[in-house]
Structure 1
């Protein structure tokens, strides 16, 4: 219920006005401007209905005092027995929303108060629409960047650029309605890890931004990162089922403010560089700009030095057997080979191996999966690629291979698995196809 503050030094007029308005609103009464200031702080009314001429502090002075103290436009309506048009004109110049002349009818007063409250609601709705992202309820790009830019000038804390990893797969595999659910839940998770003094917003798509004030240590962001990554997976499984295999998570690029500066544009770029590094190294984590590796710092400063560039790109400590990749890196390689096939007709096979637990398996699933991964990698060439799809599913890519050779490879893997300790408790099957 909306709350109206009634201010009038005439006791009878105050009682009558309160009697009329209390039938439709919550009311609080003050007999002077000074008393109204004290009550306003405690009661926070939705509007003020004040007599214009009062001893000590007039209605004008009360309005100006409250707006100066709270730095906002407070809905005001004046009551007056004065019929002078200059009186009304002055009131409107000061920001009054309406006048009503004493004596007044009850229905007229209720109608005018209702009109003011409806107008205020429309204005607040328009203001909210201008600053909020309609889907997530977070601040939109313009508002969040504006608020954070102001904080960066004087506040201490951490600026975070946040990406929702693999979100496009949700839209592609489950549809945009499911994608909207995931975005809304992700926004709720972000709200849960920030405080009222912090700022969080959606830049668009799967990109978000936040500023956490007075944060000085990495460990705070580490805890936030773990929380976000845990609960977005929980939400995804709640919406899409426990067998959901999309590697959702959050990559977070961070920069300390004012340690790395106070200019928002510059800080934004630094946080973006940290975010890029997270995404290039497995995702689902965080990194501060100051923690970027020496190799990456050198890479940014080098110009035309091919030898150093090759050193940075080259694989270190190359192992025998297949090339084991994270799901996201494997996905990138799949897309690359798909392009090769389209342009050069290069053939590559794709295999999905599935372990299935037999009854009363004494070996934990994790141990069996690790053992099969060792069998898989050792049974393949160095040019073959392997990733884990979920706890008991593994995807293999075999570049430049014929159909007859595929059979040889699968037979070798099946045979080697039979020799493994876990094979007695976990059966193995597979499906095969070619990269499209």
Structure 2
């Protein structure tokens, strides 16, 4: 779509020339003869990509017109303006630039200069818009991120009248637990669209936590207005969730809203947020799926009755679990988490890795482009990490990562996965990323019987099965390696001895039975426990595998609970058998 330019000048010949040259260059042009006409026009038709404003006009000059145009703009948005002038006055130019103009174009102008200046302005504006949007936008939902939302709400609380509302999705943790984070992300995106569609200014909403949002309802004063908003949001959210989840939705979901009226309780955003949050707590405790407007009596009641039972506090905290991405911390908080992680590792013989990612840009990239790429890189890495990982910025171009439950056996896989995600971006080719990593605790050892997590290898040609198994087994403090063929398993056991193997029965090239047979030959009878995975019922194959030594069968698609229970059971039996064998060996040695 062609860029739209409004030219405002009281000189008809200037309007005709500018309109002709710019239209010929592919721009859409609207020509107006006064600032007053421009104000009336944008009220009805909206704001263009660029204004070209003459400074010296009767009634309203260019400066006054610009001031009035700003008042018509959506709050927080810039007015893209270049001034036209036949005079060479430094004071005028300084005043124009201070008021926000992007350029000055001298009259009479040549076609080439006019068009090239306009293209340059629009190009710069486009790049700036992208950078600002990336910096302020939550990458998943498209609404404001936490920092941008807080800045926007601070301004609105100072300037406007209405409700500051904190919204929390009831039952969202269950959505993630039952349907997975990908489905949970779809729910969040759907809800963000519902909020935007129900606000006069969609940009006045933001995501401030995993499933927590904040909005400002301008010019709303009555509690009935808040109730109507809450009812509509809940109805649309539940309907949207049913479209995504279908008949699988068998638990209660909804939206809880806590609100405070601005400016009755002041205009300080931090204090107002605290009051709205108090109201949200009450909604969550009293059945959820509704709204509550803060009142002084309610605040006094909260002061007199601060105690909550363990289950209530836990339920509220679980509702506010962050999104499934890494925690992005400042240096002070990150330092505390790092110290805690080191203590935890020392106490419980656990493991973690630290990694440093550095973005290096060549001299050919200008500052704006480099900033755009670095913002995109940080966002990609954060969204590619687990929600148990922690991330800290080290200057503009470096990220320090803390990766719990990562060992020397899978750190390279983790780093490669992060880089694969980034390399899919079109921006990746413009910079170089270097990586370095090391264990947080130097005593992390092999799972081959030396004070480490037990190693479980899952072999399946179905990527979805591998992903599910890895996700649920990793949560059980197990080191998990996923392989897509029997050949790769045979290569792995030459270097490492798993504690347990989950082996798919039907695979191309080498099926589960053949893999099992070669595994026994390769490991000279010292095969770890093997569980067979199968999506079809084949009694003869099951019988053959059991005769070969398989310890269990798991039917696909498997439920997380069944998978975890059976794996834990087999590992527990293996540990018991190992302990008994060692005890018997020691006893025999003592008797000798």
Bin of the TM-score, shorter chain as denominator length: 0.5 to 0.7
1:298 matched residue in structure 2: 304
1:178 matched residue in structure 2: 183
Please point out which of 58, 82, 88 is paired with 1:76: 82
Could you report, residue by residue, the CA deviation over 1:247-267 in whole angstroms, capped at 9, with x for unpaired residues? 221122223334444433222
Change over 3 Å in CA distance of 1:266–1:15 after alignment to 2: closer
Unaligned runs of 5+ in 2: 71-77, 320-561, 569-592
Change over 3 Å in CA distance of 1:74–1:241 after alignment to 2: closer
Unaligned runs of 5+ in 1: 301-308, 315-327, 333-432
Is the Cα–Cα contact under 8 Å of residues 170 and 246 in structure 1 kept in the other structure?
Answer: no
2:20 matched residue in structure 1: 19
2:336 matched residue in structure 1: none
- Matches of 1:198 and 1:299, distance apart in 2: 37
Question: What does residue range 40-189 of structure 1 map to in structure 2 within 5 Å?
Answer: 40-43=39-42, 44-49=47-52, 62-71=61-70, 73-76=79-82, 78=84, 93=97, 95-99=101-105, 102=108, 104=110, 106-153=111-158, 155-189=160-194
Is the Cα–Cα contact under 8 Å of residues 143 and 203 in structure 2 kept in the other structure?
Answer: no
Q: How many angstroms does 1:91 deviate by?
A: 8.4
TM-score normalised by structure 2 residue count: 0.44
Q: What secondary structure is seen at the aligned counterpart in 2 of 1:204?
A: coil
Q: How many angstroms does 1:21 deviate by?
A: 1.5
Give the structure, 1 or 2, with the largest relative contact order (CA under 8 Å, sep 6 or more).
1
- Matches of 1:17 and 1:294, distance apart in 2: 65
In angstroms, what is the RMSD of aligned CA positions? 4.1
Is the Cα–Cα contact under 8 Å of residues 62 and 83 in structure 2 kept in the other structure?
Answer: no
Q: How many angstroms does 1:74 deviate by?
A: 3.6
TM-score normalised by structure 1 residue count: 0.57
Q: How many angstroms does 1:233 deviate by?
A: 2.0
Larger Rg: 1
- Matches of 1:15 and 1:216, distance apart in 2: 49
Is the Cα–Cα contact under 8 Å of residues 3 and 47 in structure 1 kept in the other structure?
Answer: yes
Q: How many angstroms does 1:153 deviate by?
A: 4.3
Is the Cα–Cα contact under 8 Å of residues 97 and 103 in structure 2 kept in the other structure?
Answer: no
Question: What does residue range 146-295 of structure 1 map to in structure 2 within 5 Å?
Answer: 146-153=151-158, 155-196=160-201, 199-290=204-295, 292=298
Is the Cα–Cα contact under 8 Å of residues 75 and 120 in structure 1 kept in the other structure?
Answer: no
- Matches of 1:157 and 1:10, distance apart in 2: 44
Is the Cα–Cα contact under 8 Å of residues 49 and 79 in structure 1 kept in the other structure?
Answer: no
Q: What secondary structure is seen at the aligned counterpart in 1 of 2:288?
A: coil
Question: May I ask how many residue pairs the two structures share in their alignment?
Answer: 304
Is the Cα–Cα contact under 8 Å of residues 54 and 61 in structure 2 kept in the other structure?
Answer: no
- Matches of 1:85 and 1:159, distance apart in 2: 47
Change over 3 Å in CA distance of 1:126–1:10 after alignment to 2: same
Q: What secondary structure is seen at the aligned counterpart in 1 of 2:305?
A: helix
- Matches of 2:257 and 2:133, distance apart in 1: 27
- Matches of 2:69 and 2:290, distance apart in 1: 41
Q: How many angstroms does 1:76 deviate by?
A: 0.6
